[in-house]
Structure 1
Amino acid sequence: MRLLSSGELAKELGISRRSISRYADEGLISVALVTPGGKYRFDLETVREELRQLAKKHREERS
C-alpha cells in the first residue's frame, strides 16, 4: 500500500486538496495515517471506494 498526501490524492482524484481535508475531517473518507506533524496520509484505492459508495448513496437518496 502506497500512502498519499492530501495534495497527491487530490491530484489523482481531480478534486481540490481542501475538499480532501474537509472530507477527512467530516469522516467521509478514511485517513490511513496521521504523521507526527499532523499531516494526513491516504490509501488511494480505499478512498476511491469510499467516494464511489458516497456517490451511490447520494444518487439513491435523490431517486
Structure 2
Amino acid sequence: MDNVPPGLLTTTQLAKELNVSTKTIHRWVAAGKIRPTLTTPGNQFRFRLDDVLEQLGQPRKRPE
C-alpha cells in the first residue's frame, strides 16, 4: 500500500479529482503550471487539492 500522507493525493487521485489524465498532470508540473506539495524519494508527486485548485485559478473545494 502506498504511504500517502493524510490530505495529500497521488497523481492518479488528483487526475481523477480534476477529470484529466495523469499525463496532463505531469505536463502541468513540467510546465510549472502546478507544483507538487511533496516529491517522494522515488520522484513521485503528492498534491494537496486546494493548493492545486488555487494554482489553477479555480475556487477551493468546500469541506463536505
TM-score between the two structures when normalised by the length of structure 2: 0.75
Q: Aligned residues, how many?
A: 53
Q: Report the aligned-residue RMSD.
A: 1.3
1:9 aligns with 2:29: no
Question: Which consecutive unaligned segments of at least 5 residues does structure 2 have?
Answer: 1-5, 59-64
Report the CA distance between 1:49 and its aligned residue. 1.4
Q: Which 4+ residue blocks in structure 1 deviate beyond 4 angstroms?
A: none
Matched, 1:40 2:45: yes
Unaligned runs of 5+ in 1: 54-63
Identity of aligned residues (%): 43
SS of the counterpart of 1:41?
Answer: strand
Q: Give me the TM-score of the superposition, normalised by structure 1.
A: 0.76
**Structure ID, larger Rg:** 1
